[in-house]
Amino acid sequence: MMTIPGEIVALLSGFPYAGAHEQAFPFLSVDAVGYPHSALLSRAELEPGADSATLLAVVASSRTRMNLQRSSTAALIAVDGFVCHHLKLEMVASVSAGEVLGCVFVPVEHKRDDIGIAMQPLSFHVTPDLAVRENWPRSALMFSRLQALLRKRDELR
């Protein structure tokens, strides 16, 4: 079983806070005709599972949700200094709740791209208004729900 590299776990763990400068993570799915579809997710929408073998995501975009429900595949890009991480993902479980889809992904491939050039990731400034507009408490509740789903699955094994 592949795990999510510690460098990526460190980038995704925890919630953003007001006033912080945060990375926006490109999240790619595939549309119905085979073209890439991109969304930008923050740490408020991504969380490594407790075992580092899973990645949890809360997806609000209707097109991204449809793509994931159809293909169960995605990719995540994360930048850390000189390294660009490319993580291919397979959705193994999901929970729908209103206008969001809670996803459990397992990594299927990781590429660590490092050519010795410092990179600046896509980023944004966190405002209190953003946390309200994106309903970050809803994401936190979904992460708890997904973690409980994973614990139950592990107990059944």
**pLDDT tens per residue, range 13-27:** 998 988 999 999 999
The answer on pLDDT for 156 being more than 80 is no
Spatial contact of 22 and 59, defined as CB atoms under 8 Å apart = no
Looking at residue 50, its pLDDT comes to: 85
pLDDT one-digit tens code per residue, 91-117: 999 999 989 999 999 999 999 999 899
Q: How far is CA 56 from CA 92, 128, 141, in A?
A: 10, 23, 12
What is the reported pLDDT for 51?
A: 83
What is residue 76's predicted lDDT score, i.e. its pLDDT? 98
Query: Model-level pTM?
Result: 0.94
Higher pLDDT among residues 70 and 151, named by residue: 70
